[in-house]
Amino acid sequence: MTLSSPDPIFADPRLAACYDTFDGERDDLPPYRAILAEHSARTVIDVGCGTGSLATLLAADGLTVTGVDPALASLDVARRKPHAEAVTWRHGTAEDLPPLGADAAVMTGNVAQVFVTDESWAATLRGIRGALRPGGVLVFETRRPGRRAWEEWQADTAETLHEVPGIGPVRQRQTGVEVALPLVTFSDEFRFADGMVLTSTSTLRWRDEAELRDTLAATGFDVEEIREAPDRPGREYVVIARAV
């Protein structure tokens, strides 16, 4: 099993337990359900499934779902959710997936951007390709470089208070954004009511449309369509590619 090192916000048990509250309303998930329905997908792999928000939603729809993630703490949260028993949970990465013959694979949120090297991105795409049936679809979102989202992050220094069920108040504060394109690294500090302070640092890679098309073609995919994200128009690409 080849495991990457997940960011603390996903891997630390205390932060993972808070993640769904930090993330807020997941209005990005219904479009994935719609796209999968468009492609008549019945077996789906959720790559970087995290705390299982999409995987359990799809399982509730009656789909056969495999969720894979390198963060055990996030998987522990996922396994406690309604419909979790209908999902096959795998601790690992896309590179570890067997040939599942799945109809579709998805990467939501920032998952497609956590692969910061060319090698890790290509290995992830090859792993997904190997787990799909011929003609299966890969659907993922990734932020548009031209939108320069990091500038908003740099300006957002206000502290946020979250009330986390079962944990209590947690104060979140951005502590820095470092831009070294195509990479952007950002850190957040979390203060708990008992005085514990935890910090999580993440790095994301920005890829333009040409690079996305080239890397997908090199790993066994044809790009079928690149859409707008309906909940964030102009901010993200939603890529739909077919395994060839």
Q: What's the pLDDT score for residue 175?
A: 95
Q: What's the pLDDT score for residue 6?
A: 87
Task: Give me the domain span that covers residue 187.
Answer: 147-203
Residue 2 lies in a domain: no
Q: What's the pLDDT score for residue 4?
A: 56
> Same domain, yes or no, for 89 and 175?
no
> Same domain, yes or no, for 170 and 129?
no
Across all residues in the chain, what is the average pLDDT? 95
pLDDT band at 3 (very low <50, low <70, confident <90, very high): very low
pLDDT band at 171 (very low <50, low <70, confident <90, very high): very high
Residue with the bigger pLDDT between 231 and 134: it is 134
What is the per-residue pLDDT across 41-73, written as a single tens digit (0 to 9) for each?
999 999 999 999 999 999 999 999 999 999 999
Residue 186 lies in a domain: yes
Residues 77-105: what's their mean pLDDT? 98
> Same domain, yes or no, for 94 and 159?
no
> Same domain, yes or no, for 54 and 125?
yes
Query: Does residue 129 surpass a pLDDT of 80?
Result: yes
> Same domain, yes or no, for 188 and 87?
no
| Distance (Å) of CA 174 to CA 32, 80, 159, 169, 232 | 29, 29, 7, 17, 22
> Same domain, yes or no, for 128 and 50?
yes
What is the per-residue pLDDT across 12-22, written as a single tens digit (0 to 9) for each?
999 999 999 99
> Same domain, yes or no, for 80 and 54?
yes
Q: What's the pLDDT score for residue 2?
A: 44
Q: What's the pLDDT score for residue 230?
A: 86
Domain tally for the chain? Answer: 2
> Same domain, yes or no, for 68 and 180?
no
Residue 162's Cβ-side half-sphere holds a number of Cα atoms within 13 Å equal to 21
Residue 109 lies in a domain: yes
Residues 31, 231, 14, 6, CA torsion sign: positive
Bridge partners of 139, per DSSP, are 106, 240
Residue 3 lies in a domain: no
Query: Does residue 146 surpass a pLDDT of 90?
Result: yes
What is the per-residue pLDDT across 190-232, written as a single tens digit (0 to 9) for each?
999 999 999 999 999 999 999 999 999 999 999 999 999 988 8
> Same domain, yes or no, for 119 and 104?
yes
Residue 199 lies in a domain: yes
> Same domain, yes or no, for 164 and 193?
yes
Residue 1 lies in a domain: no
> Same domain, yes or no, for 182 and 218?
no
Three-state DSSP state, 120: helix
> Same domain, yes or no, for 135 and 156?
no
Task: Report the CATH number that the domain containing residue 123 is assigned in CATH.
Answer: 3.40.50.150
